[in-house]
Amino acid sequence: MPPADDAGRPASTPVAAPVDELDVDALRAWILDVPNFPSAGVLFRDVTPMLADAEAFGRCIDALAAPWQDAGVEAVCGIESRGFIFGAALARRLEVGFVPLRKPGKLPPPLVEVEYALEYGRDRLQARSGILDGGLRTLIVDDVLATGGTLAAAHELVTRLGGLTVGAGVVIELSALGGRARWPRELPLRALLDY
């Protein structure tokens, strides 16, 4: 059993630390660069080593949570599939519910969906109709911001679901791809690591 802190909580109680106390940049050591995956010319940033390390994963979730502690977040939406990993952990840390935004064919009706453009072709995101009704204050979470189409579609879906997007958090921003330009200027978008 870990020693108790001044407030009598066990030291391991999951309370997010202020972001400036977290060495976020050190997380790069757990993110692997994989050239030519999943196709030639793509430099894939693989977060699975970070997920497998309890301290690094915990630090990542603390850092994702820190900017939103006082933002009145009422729900976290995670984008399939890697966004589920970070989104669900973050929802628990912020002590709010989790809403999965899913690829087509995974959720039963009634559904609301948004179609969006990919680099090649189109895709769709779906969620349960009415699940954010009443203007639920919603934080959108994903692992990577690349061209920005996915995150922009998630914001549109949250709006159609009756929610109010308070902002978005991503672990990695591939800033050379310019995805931030597709995100509404007036909404905060926080990235832990810029590549």
Closer Cβ to ligand PRP, 146 or 158, answer by number:
146
Q: In this structure, is the dihedral angle defined by the CA atoms of residues 82, 15, 192 and 33, taken in order, positive or negative?
A: negative
Residue 162 binding partner per list ligand ADE, ligand PRP, none, with a CB distance cut-off of 5 to 8 Å that depends on partner kind:
none
At closest approach, how far in Å is the CB of 61 from ligand ADE?
18
Question: Can you give the binding site for ligand PRP, defined by CB under 6 A?
Answer: 79-83, 142-150, 179
Alpha carbon distance 111, 150 (integer Å) = 18
- Whether 82 is a known active-site residue: answer yes
At closest approach, how far in Å is the CB of 146 from ligand ADE?
4
Alpha carbon distance 100, 107 (integer Å) = 10
Residue 15 touching ligand ADE (CB under 6 A): no
Alpha carbon distance 178, 146 (integer Å) = 7
Please give the residues from 30 up to 69 whose contact with ligand ADE meets the rule CB under 6 A: 42-45
Instruction: Return the closest-CA partner of residue 113 out of 129, 126, 132.
Output: 126
Catalytic residue list? 82, 119
